[in-house]
């Protein structure tokens, strides 16, 4: 079995997969569709970060692909529905870099509030400007968190420990942690917050989520942070707010268009504006986070290959499985229609195959039945199972 790992993943990912007997090829940088199709010829597993897009066209051209790992929090770079239809299991790392992003957000809030990057630039230019003008503590200031998921909620706890008042807005019901206050609308949050930070997901519906209207709702001189997704913010509107003074400062880690690899040129309307911190999508890029992500996602891919486990898959029915009980394990992914389990068992009985254990899970339009069988599984039995109506993908694990 072969795996292709792109975008400079942590070496631990390679070590885990190779220890499972998988041949791993590493390649720096992202690939476009045509490049990816060529690189995936005969490859079963793919590992990517945020730049490589796994589209339906790519999957259609690469029938050998059975699993993809997004070595990141988000999965918007993967067409999950198309992957599910082809029986390609997708995994991500929803928690592994949470702390890294939180710590960077705190560091940027303090830097912006104290105007550290402005003073740093002046010092490098040989200007000594010892002044308290425009410098504040973050203690007692109000932090508005937009998106109260894994990152937003942990940031809430850390910010409160630093003495900030925390308010948040989320379109889903979320439990407020500590003394954080849920705001009824985004507008009410923007009008009250001294610092606004975005931590929303990458679903297509969030494109252009934060634009001129939202910036105009913010308190005069408030700070703005985006460490979530680049395409959710209108950077031209943000530039206008910064240049007019309506926005007191900003820290931006993600952009609508980003270079594919290290060393490629970067251009943004936000460059060379005072009190603006620009970073190259490194919110989760600490050595600790990348190591944890490499371990977590590679283990999910390894387990799927070795024993059929789909635990924590973001697009297939979830089954947490141990090593096979019998001589063979049959992993049958199918359309979620009545009678499939009975049909699987009937085919096995007709071919004189005894069942040692069996589990079934469903998710939306898909079902996943995993059957451990004793010796005696024949090619004819496997062919009969693969030919069953509604079969999406059949794998036999020995």
Looking at the annotation, which residues are catalytic?
Answer: 229, 258, 281
DSSP code of residue 280: S
> 192-205 burial, b if ≥16 CB within 10 A, otherwise e?
bbbbbbbbbebeee
Q: Per the structure block, which two tokens stand in for 183?
A: 């705001």
Q: For helices 287-307 and 11-19, what crossing angle results, to 10°?
A: 20
Spatial CB neighbours of 157, under 8 Å, sequence gap ≥ 6: 177, 178
Q: What is the DSSP string of 127-183?
A: ------TT---STTPEEEEE--SHHHHHHHHHHHHTT-EEEEE-SS--PPPTT-EE-
CA distance 269 to 298: 37
Among candidates 109, 316, 375, which has minimal Cα distance to 225? 109
CA distance 218 to 191: 5
Q: What is the DSSP string of 213-232?
A: HHHHHSPTTEEEEE-S-GGG
């Amino acid at each position: 079995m072969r795996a292709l790992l792109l975008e400079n993943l942590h070496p631990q990912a390679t070590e885990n997969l190779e220890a499972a007997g998988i041949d791993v090829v590493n390649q720096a940088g992202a690939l476009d569709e045509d490049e990816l199709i060529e690189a995936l010829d005969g490859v079963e597993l793919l590992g990517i970060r945020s730049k490589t897009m796994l589209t339906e066209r790519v999957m259609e051209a690469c029938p050998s692909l059975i699993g993809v790992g997004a070595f990141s929090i988000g999965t918007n770079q993967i067409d999950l529905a198309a992957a599910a239809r082809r029986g390609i299991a997708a995994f991500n790392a929803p928690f592994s870099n949470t702390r890294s992003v939180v710590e960077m957000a705190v560091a940027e809030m303090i830097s912006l509030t104290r105007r550290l990057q402005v003073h740093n630039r002046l010092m490098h230019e040989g200007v000594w400007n010892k002044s308290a003008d425009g410098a504040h503590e973050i203690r007692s200031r109000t932090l508005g968190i937009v998106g109260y998921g894994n990152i937003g909620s942990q940031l809430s706890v850390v910010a409160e420990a630093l003495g900030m008042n925390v308010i948040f807005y989320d379109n889903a019901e979320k439990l407020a942690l500590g003394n954080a206050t849920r705001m009824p609308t985004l507008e009410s949050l923007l009008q009250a917050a001294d610092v606004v930070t975005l931590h929303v997901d990458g679903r297509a519906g969030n494109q252009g989520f934060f634009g001129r209207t939202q910036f105009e709702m913010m308190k005069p001189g408030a700070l703005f942070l985006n460490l979530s997704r680049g395409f959710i913010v209108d950077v031209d509107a943000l530039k206008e707010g910064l240049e007019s003074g309506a926005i007191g400062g900003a820290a931006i880690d993600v952009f609508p268009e980003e270079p594919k690899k290290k060393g490629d040129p970067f251009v943004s309307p936000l460059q060379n504006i005072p009190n603006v911190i620009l970073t190259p999508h490194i919110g989760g890029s600490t050595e600790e986070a990348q190591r944890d992500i490499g371990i977590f996602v590679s283990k999910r891919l390894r387990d799927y290959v070795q024993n059929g486990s789909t635990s924590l898959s973001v697009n297939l029915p979830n089954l947490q499985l141990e090593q096979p009980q019998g001589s063979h394990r049959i992993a049958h992914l199918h359309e979620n229609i009545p009678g499939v389990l009975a049909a699987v068992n009937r085919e096995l009985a007709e071919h004189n195959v005894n069942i040692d254990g069996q589990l079934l899970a469903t998710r939306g339009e898909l079902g996943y039945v995993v059957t451990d069988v004793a010796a005696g599984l024949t090619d004819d039995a496997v062919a009969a199972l693969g030919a069953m109506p509604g079969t999406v993908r059949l794998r036999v694990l020995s």
